[in-house]
């Protein structure tokens, strides 16, 4: 009877150790696949910007626009506090597209570029053939 209890304990320990190493290995793989610093900070700042408007309920259309603007402003300030700002390469990329969008949609250039800005500031992963909106203040030259 004692040998059966010992064997059960031994197998339980083996199962626990196998489970522990499996979980540990999965955590290391997810870290090595990597969440970049920009993705991590971006996610934090998006959460902060969401909290900034959480208790506000827009009634009319302009209030919806005010909330979107406030959310974008909070995101921009948070990213600046964490060491990121608008990428000059993104500006060079966006200007011709905004001009094209403005003429196609019969809107002003400022509205077209602002619409692009609000969409692209939420992208934190590198996109093919497209510069990121954010760049680290440490890695850029003015």
Q: Residues 24-36: pLDDT tens digits?
A: 555 444 444 567 8
Torsion of CA 16, 18, 24, 30, to 10 degrees: -130
Mean pLDDT of the chain: 82
- What is the rounded distance in angstroms from the CA atom of residue 91 to the CA atom of residue 83? 18
- What is the rounded distance in angstroms from the CA atom of residue 118 to the CA atom of residue 75? 10
pLDDT band at 127 (very low <50, low <70, confident <90, very high): confident
- Give the whole-number percent of the chain exceeding pLDDT 90: 58
Give start and end residues of each alpha helix (H) in 34-133. Answer: 37-52, 61-81, 88-105, 109-120
Q: Phi and psi for 81 in degrees, rounded to 5?
A: -65, -30
Tell me the sheet residues that pair with 135: 85
Q: What is the pLDDT of residues 25-77, one digit of tens each?
A: 554 444 445 678 999 999 999 999 999 999 888 889 889 989 999 999 999 99
Torsion of CA 69, 75, 81, 82, to 10 degrees: -160
More confident residue, 114 or 142: 114
What pLDDT shows up at residue 137?
A: 86
More confident residue, 18 or 138: 138
Residue 91 has pLDDT above 50, yes or no: yes
- Give the whole-number percent of the chain exceeding pLDDT 70: 73
What pLDDT shows up at residue 58?
A: 87
The residue with tokens 């996610």 is 43
């Amino acid at each position: 009877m004692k040998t059966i209890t010992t064997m059960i304990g031994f197998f339980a320990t083996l199962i626990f150790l196998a489970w522990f190493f499996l979980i540990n290995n999965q955590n290391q793989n997810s870290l090595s696949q990597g969440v970049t610093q920009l993705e991590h900070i971006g996610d934090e700042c998006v959460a902060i910007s969401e909290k900034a408007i959480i208790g506000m309920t827009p009634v009319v259309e302009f209030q919806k626009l005010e909330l979107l603007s406030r959310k974008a402003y909070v995101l921009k300030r948070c990213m600046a506090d964490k060491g990121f700002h608008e990428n000059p390469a993104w500006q060079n990329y966006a200007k011709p597209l905004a001009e094209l969008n403005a003429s196609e949609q019969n809107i002003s250039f400022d509205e077209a570029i602002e619409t692009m800005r609000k969409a692209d500031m939420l992208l934190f992963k590198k996109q093919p053939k497209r510069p990121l909106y954010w760049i680290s203040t440490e890695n850029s030259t003015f």
